[in-house]
Structure 1
């Protein structure tokens, strides 16, 4: 059993990476899923958003459940749910079973997302917490990038079932590693204390939650419908996945840089506005100048990433230590609601227009809306 916190970070990073990999599988394999199940982009958007649906129910009570039964047990159960859902998806040719499996996967993923951040803080509080958190957050874009790059290759080589079972094996490996090597740090006790009744600035917190939710939904439009758009413009599935994967690779590299710049300059809002406005105005260029698609993906992979860290600090601007637990539950509930609805909305627009580019335009609109929410957030905190 290890007490090396950096090895613990690697374990948590890998587990969360498999969650990102599993989430992104639908978008990465979307052309094959559309062919296999006879569905359109609206249904693809529904499946993408469905992964986040359980968060509406588990974001608030998740911490309390873990406090009662233990972080490790609940995260282990989450990984088992991801495996169960993955099994259902891999063996089915039924749309209803696919939907059920996706929901079960998402339930496990939500458990990981809510609890493992707390587990990381347990290990790094007061010791390189910013560095550790930046590395940990990067597990999401890295997992998405790998899914976009590898799953189409696996599907082309051995069929869609081969891709699903490879993903299942990845999650199984995460479960085994987590079960064998993770433990809570010394001095961390499980408590069943009830949350105090506290008040918080709900208007400002709601706006902060909307900034984060719209930011992530705009990002989801890229890795969810970017491959479909590029295939529509003449790229092969593998090439389209590679280009979108490059966006996520650059995103993962630039993500911690935004936080560093914001901390050193004190211009947090300026960094966020740069990210949101550049996305809102540059992403539509891909629709009207397809030859510039690779350039735009590369530029925005860097610029859009800069705002992620600063946006995540917004709740801390309005929450007191006593209100932080409940307040962050509200914050993440808003995130999950929007992330469930957003991809379905984007996919529905794309289907109605017969053009995957409409989902990208929706993402640009969401990014602009996030900038507006940030403006009102600051007014609410004055």
Structure 2
């Protein structure tokens, strides 16, 4: 097979994988725009409703400690299939939930799927694109999977509600779409099974090696800090925009929230270009985390519809430049392909753990103080921790990254 043919097949498989990630995200992010309806249906407050997203993060964090080992058994494509099955169960169980406890349990299952998918995507990219210098663009595109799914759901939610007549109708649509995606993954994504298993088996590298590396944990903590900031916005912004402070109706609030996903996609792609031009990827991570922390701290301190449109755009750009940096820097946290795969398997610990306290802590602060601006304190603290860990990672791995890029 020619090099161009191999590259074409790699991109074709990657595009299908990315679409499956987007489909998963459509189901994953069906809750934020439905939050007011769900609170009314289940008769619960904002603090308890925060668990509709935080339960996903709890599950994702728990399973992330085992995804490296699981991936050595079923491969990254198997992880993608498992993720879609989990989201299918999430939607089906959620729509039939008789009470809030069962509904939260359905979201826990969806969170398990998020842990599987977060591990599978970067590993499949490393498998498809053998040259590390060629991974910057696909990594930056992959970082948009949550943004694309969220964008679609936020902008279609009002239409789906009008068409189906209830939030349950939206859940049924997700059931159908995920079932189709599952079949496409099984029959149309072509990954050489022997090759993928050879990559993730690790040889002499133990399946838990990614959990014992300081470099790995620095990236995990940075990911957790990003995830906290991003999750507070994604889970709470539609509700905040509908408060008297801002005064938007549901459809407008969801559309404004989706601006974040549009600018997030732009930010991720811009970062992909930067990563392909700059050799010191750890230094880029430091700058990206500083920007993320600064914008995240102020995102609920402004009021008024016009200014919140600007904030929504800024949050998208500032937060979504971080994940591509993390995926790209994983290759510098370890020095063997199997080690890199295990670092990538560890990253979802951070992405999920950061989301656990996000919606619940923000909701509890607002319930207790009556002030959305008070969320700035924990957002700032988390942002500072992320910046410090990024700096330490740069000090440890920056030289190795530059030397490797010069070879």
Task: Give the TM-score normalised by the residue count of structure 2.
Answer: 0.82
Residues 278 and 304 of structure 1 are in contact (CA less than 8 Å); yes or no, is this contact kept in structure 2?
A: no
Measure the CA separation in 2 of the matches of 1:311 and 1:193. Answer: 21
Q: Which residue of 368, 371, 384 corresponds with 1:352?
A: 368
* Structure 2 counterpart of 1:42, from 41, 47, 56: 47
SS in 2 for 1:339: coil
Deviation at 1:365, TM superposition (A): 4.2
CA distance in 1: counterparts of 2:194 and 2:107, whole angstroms: 37
What does residue 88 of structure 2 align with? Answer: 83
Which residue of 1 is the match for residue 270 of structure 2? Answer: 257
Which position in structure 1 is the counterpart of 2:116? 111
Give 2:217's aligned residue: 206
Give, in angstroms, the shift of residue 230 of structure 1.
Answer: 0.6
Residue 129 of structure 1 is matched in structure 2 by 135
* Residue pair 1:276, 1:370 contacting (<8 A) in 2 also: no
**Equivalent residue number for residue 254 of structure 2:** 241
Among residues 222, 229, 233, which one is paired with 2:233 in the alignment?
A: 222
**Any stretches of 5+ residues in structure 2 without a counterpart?**
1-5, 399-407
The 3 A distance-change label for structure 1 pair 36 and 309 is same
What is the aligned partner in structure 2 of residue 168 from structure 1? 175
The answer to which of 360-369 and 95-104 deviates more is: 360-369
- 1:1-382 equivalent positions in 2, closer than 5 A: 4-126=9-131, 128-157=134-163, 158-185=165-192, 188=195, 190-191=197-198, 196-197=205-206, 202-232=213-243, 233-265=246-278, 266=280, 268-269=284-285, 271-280=287-296, 282-287=298-303, 291-321=306-336, 323-359=339-375, 362-378=378-394
Q: Distance in 2 between matches of 1:71 and 1:329?
A: 10
> Is the contact made by 2:301 and 2:372 (CA closer than 8 Å) also made in structure 1?
no
Going from structure 1 to structure 2, the CA distance change for 1:274 and 1:193 (only over 3 Å counts) comes to: closer
What is the CA-CA distance between 1:231 and the residue it aligns to? 0.2
Structure 1 position 76, deviation (Å) = 2.3
What do the CA deviations read for 1:120-179 (whole angstroms, capped 9, x no partner)? Answer: 322222284322222222121111121222124322442111111112222112112112
Q: CA deviation at 1:297?
A: 1.7
**CA displacement at 1:272 relative to structure 2:** 1.5
For 2:81 and 2:210, the matched residues in 1 are separated by: 33
CA RMSD of aligned residues (A): 3.0
Q: Distance in 2 between matches of 1:77 and 1:374?
A: 32
Q: Matches of 2:356 and 2:204 in 1, distance apart? A: 27
Change (3 A) 1:278 1:327: same
The structural deviation recorded for 1:228 is 0.7
Aligned residues: 380
Would the aligned equivalents of 2:94 and 2:106 in 1 still touch at CA under 8 Å? Answer: yes
CA–CA distance in 1 between the matches of 2:51 and 2:38? 13
CA shift for structure 1 position 338: 2.6
1:204 deviates by 4.6
- Report what 2:403 is aligned to: none
TM-score with structure 1 setting the length: 0.87
Instruction: Name the SS for the 1:242 alignment partner.
Output: helix
**Distance 1:241-1:111 versus aligned 2 partners, 3 A rule:** same
Check conservation: 2:293, 2:384, Cα contact below 8 A: yes
Contact 1:154 1:163 in 2 (8 A): yes
Distance 1:270 1:378, change over 3 A: closer
Instruction: Note the C-alpha offset of 1:285.
Output: 4.0
| Pair 146,360 (structure 1): closer, same or farther in 2 beyond 3 Å | farther
Closer, same or farther in 2 for the Cα pair 1:330/1:229, shift >3 Å?
A: same
